[in-house]
Each structure stands twice: as C-alpha cells, then as structure tokens.
C-alpha cells in the first residue's frame, strides 16, 4: 500500500466507527477517525512506523513528557474538494515548524519523509472521514512526545511521533469578545512562545478562564514586560485594519509564525493592500478606535481560519467594533482562503497539496 520510501505497516480496524458519525453535529476535537499514525524514535533514529486503529497508548508513568512537558504539536486541516480530491494546505510548512519546535525543546527532527508519508497514507486510509460542506474539514493533529521511562531531568532518548485526525465543523460560530490581558502573559523573549510547545497552552488556561468568567471568549495577550503592545489572541495571530492598512505584530520570540497569518498577509499584498508587520500598542488601537479608524480586528489560525472580533475589553471598558460587511477585508480573505484550500480558485502560490 505504501508508495514512498518509508516502510509503514498498516493494521486496519476490524470495525469502522464511521457509520456512527453525525456530520451535522461535530463537536471540535472529540470524535477521532478510525486510524492513527505512530512512529518511534530510539538509538538516534526513526525506527518503527505504523498505522493502527485509533486507541489508547501504553506509556510508562515515568515518561518525561508527563513530568517535564517535553511535548510539541502541530495543527492542520484536510479538505474534500468539490471534484472529490483530498487536499492539504501548505503541509510542508507544518513539518518545518514542527522541527523548529523540536529543536527548541531538545527533541529530534521528524524528517519530511516520516511526516508526509505517514500523513498521506493515514489520510488515504481514513479519507471517508473528511466531512464535506460549509466550514467542515478533517482537523489533523501531529504531535511528538518524549517517552523515556526515567524521571531525571534531561532530554529523552526515545520519542513517539503520532498523527490523529478529527472531523470538525466551524470553530467559532460568532464574532469574539476579547479582553486585553494586563496581568498574565503568554510569552517572553528567550522563552518558547514562537514554538508549539504543549506547555504554552497549559499555562494559558487559567488566565483565559478568568476572562470567560467576565463574559469574554478569549484574551488578547500583551508583551510580558510592559503589557503595552498586543501580541496574539488566544492561540491565534492577531490582525487589525486601521484606515486602509492591515497591521499585525511582527514575528519574533514571542509570536508564533502562523501559516494562516503568512497566507493572509500574502493575499493582502496580492490585492495591493498596505501591510505593516510591526509593534502595535493598545494605545494606538484605542486612539484609532476613538478616531473612527479601527475598521476590523481578527485572529488567524488553522482551527478558526479567521475569527472576527466584535468587542475589545480594556480595563473594564468595552469597545464595540463596526459591524462586518461583505466588503470587509477579513470577510473577503476568509472566503479566498476557503476557496484556495478547497481547490475552487487558482492556486497561485502553490499552497495546495494533492493527497489523492
């Protein structure tokens, strides 16, 4: 079955769970496709690669991932085009980014061969799990975990790389109310904010839960030193349209290099829009708001693609943004992104990867 160079053994499920799937009711990330890909690393090399029925892992309770958080992940989506083809969006970027994360967390590289061949073979096998219809896709979660059964603090010698997939509908069904966070921070220079380390998410849960109690959906993280400049919103990159300019924080140690971010900026430049990647302060955003120049604010990320922001909360005050219209940049770019990923418009930048 395998067409590439990596030897992948395949053990198919005895009984597909697909007939039990209700695609009209897809809770994000709770139902998983029939199979998963697992590759094992030991003695300095990638050894066993297999596709097996989705199921629990057998791990030592001493595994260093559990104690010290040596764990990283990726997030991507697979689409069923109108002509039936199975499409991925810029998957090599995810593979490269996984290895940026791996390096920062003292973990081994996952070679393109292991990542892509495992992914493609898994998707071919579970392709009937890709839901069709507006906003629906198969969310893919590749992740790398340290598995040594040793609780000394050092990089693990053994690892597992896995890929699991889950059919999903739209991530957010309403524009977001976000709160500017001025006590807690997500990332700091020299830290791990620019990589998809599991602990980045764990540490964000508590501050986010406080914001939720106050009626917000998400936070806007600000810089750790002064809480003056905006960084990201929740687990998305953050963008503003002020006047006719698209502005987003520039990449660095504290900003995750989102593939959606890069794609949105590329489309904006294609369309002749003014784009600025730079520091942007809360003061500047609120000044623009008061002057009537803050047109749009939104988050970008694979899960939501574009998450429109309707309200920004700052020090107890609520700033309501203008209503969205079909002419808004974020509305147009959300549609363009969807059209490219589903193979509906020309793929000018070579972003679409044909799985089968």
Ligand X SMILES: *Cc1c(COP(=O)(O)O)cnc(C)c1O
**Residue numbers of the site for ligand X (CB under 6 A)?**
75, 196, 232, 235-237, 256, 258-261, 300-302
Give whichever of 156 and 237 is closer to ligand X, judged by the CB atom: 237
Token readout for 96 is 């490269």
Check: CB of residue 250 under 8 Å from CB of residue 277.
yes
Give the Cα separation of 52 and 121 in Å (integer). 12
Q: Is 6 exposed, middle or buried (0-12, 13-18, 19+ CB in 10 A)?
A: middle
Backbone angles phi, psi at 92, to 5 degrees: -65, -30
Minimum CB–partner distance for residue 157 and ligand X (Å): 27
Minimum CB–partner distance for residue 330 and ligand X (Å): 14
Minimum CB–partner distance for residue 191 and ligand X (Å): 12
Give the Cα separation of 303 and 301 in Å (integer). 6
Give whichever of 68 and 201 is closer to ligand X, judged by the CB atom: 201
Minimum CB–partner distance for residue 298 and ligand X (Å): 12
Minimum CB–partner distance for residue 242 and ligand X (Å): 21
Contacts made by residues 2-5, CB under 8 angstroms, sequence distance 24+: 2/117, 2/121, 4/113, 4/116, 4/117, 4/120, 4/121, 5/113, 5/117
Check: CB of residue 12 under 8 Å from CB of residue 125.
yes
How would DSSP label each residue in 161-189? EEEEEEEE--S-SSPEEEEE-SS--S--T
Minimum CB–partner distance for residue 302 and ligand X (Å): 3
Give whichever of 51 and 304 is closer to ligand X, judged by the CB atom: 304
Token readout for 159 is 């690892």
Give whichever of 261 and 341 is closer to ligand X, judged by the CB atom: 261
Give whichever of 153 and 205 is closer to ligand X, judged by the CB atom: 205
Minimum CB–partner distance for residue 226 and ligand X (Å): 20
Give the Cα separation of 101 and 195 in Å (integer). 5
How would DSSP label each residue in 74-108? --EEEEE-TTS-EEEESHHHHHHHHHHHHHHTT--
Of 74, 95, 82, give the one whose Cα is nearest residue 139: 74
Taking residue 327's Cβ as centre, other Cβ atoms within 10 Å add up to: 7
Give whichever of 256 and 285 is closer to ligand X, judged by the CB atom: 256
Give whichever of 31 and 256 is closer to ligand X, judged by the CB atom: 256
Minimum CB–partner distance for residue 303 and ligand X (Å): 7
């Amino acid at each position: 079955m395998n067409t590439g160079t990596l030897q992948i053994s395949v053990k198919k499920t005895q009984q597909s769970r697909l007939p039990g799937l209700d695609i009209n009711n897809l809770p994000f990330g709770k139902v998983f496709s029939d199979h998963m890909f697992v590759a094992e690393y030991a003695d300095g090399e990638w050894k066993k690669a297999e596709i097996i029925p989705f199921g629990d892992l057998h791990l030592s309770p001493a595994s260093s991932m559990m104690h010290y958080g040596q764990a990283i992940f990726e997030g991507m989506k697979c689409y069923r085009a109108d002509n039936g083809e199975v499409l991925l969006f810029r998957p090599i970027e995810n593979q490269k980014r996984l290895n940026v994360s791996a390096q920062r967390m003292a973990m081994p590289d996952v070679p393109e061969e292991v990542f892509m061949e495992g992914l493609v073979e898994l998707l071919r096998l579970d392709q009937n799990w890709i839901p069709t219809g507006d906003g629906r896709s198969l969310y893919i979660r590749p992740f790398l975990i340290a598995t040594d059964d040793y609780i000394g603090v050092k990089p693990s010698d053994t690892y597992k790389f896995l890929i699991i997939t889950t059919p999903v509908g739209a991530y957010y069904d309403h524009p977001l109310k976000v709160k500017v966070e001025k006590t807690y921070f997500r990332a700091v220079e020299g830290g791990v904010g620019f990589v998809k380390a599991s602990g980045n998410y764990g540490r964000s849960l508590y501050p986010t839960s406080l914001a939720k109690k106050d009626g917000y959906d998400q936070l806007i993280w600000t810089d750790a030193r002064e809480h003056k400049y905006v960084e990201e919103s929740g687990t998305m990159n953050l963008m503003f349209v002020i006047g006719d300019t698209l502005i987003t924080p520039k990449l660095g140690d504290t900003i995750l290099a989102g593939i959606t971010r890069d794609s949105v900026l590329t489309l904006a430049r294609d369309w002749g829009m003014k784009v600025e990647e730079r520091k942007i302060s809360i003061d500047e955003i609120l000044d623009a708001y008061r002057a009537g120049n803050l047109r749009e604010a939104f988050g970008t990320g694979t899960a939501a693609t574009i998450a429109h922001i309707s309200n920004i909360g700052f020090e107890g005050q609520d700033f309501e943004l203008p209503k969205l219209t079909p002419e808004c940049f974020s509305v147009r770019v959300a549609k363009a992104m969807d059209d490219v990923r589903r193979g509906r418009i020309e793929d000018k930048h070579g972003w679409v990867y044909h799985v089968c």
